[in-house]
Chain A
Amino acid sequence: AQSVTQLGSHVSVSEGALVLLRCNYSSSVPPYLFWYVQYPNQGLQLLLKYTSAATLVKGINGFEAEFKKSETSFHLTKPSAHMSDAAEYFCAVSHDSWGKLQFGAGTQVVVTP
Chain B
Amino acid sequence: DGGITQSPKYLFRKEGQNVTLSCEQNLNHDAMYWYRQDPGQGLRLIYYSQIVNDFQKGDIAEGYSVSREKKESFPLTVTSAQKNPTAFYLCASSDWDSLNSYEQYFGPGTRLTVT
Contacts and interface: CB of A to CB of B under 8 A. Distances in A.
6 nearest A-B residue pairs (beta carbon): A43-B106, A103-B42, A44-B106, A103-B43, A32-B102, A105-B42
Contacts of B48: 98-100
A49 B100 CA distance: 10
Interface of B: 4, 6, 31, 33, 35, 40-45, 48, 50, 56, 58, 88, 90, 92, 94, 96, 101-109, 111
Q: How large is the interface on A (under 10, 10 to 19, 20 to 34, 35 or more residues)?
A: 20 to 34
B104 A106 contact: no
A42 B109 contact: yes
Interface in A53-90: 90
A43 B109 contact: yes
A100 B33 CA distance: 8
Interface of A: 9, 32, 34, 36, 41-46, 49, 51, 90, 94, 97-101, 103-106
A31 B11 CA distance: 36
A49 B4 CA distance: 20
20 contacts: A32-B102, A43-B4, A43-B6, A43-B109, A44-B43, A44-B106, A49-B103, A51-B102, A98-B50, A98-B56, A99-B94, A99-B96, A99-B101, A99-B102, A99-B104, A100-B33, A100-B48, A103-B35, A105-B40, A105-B41
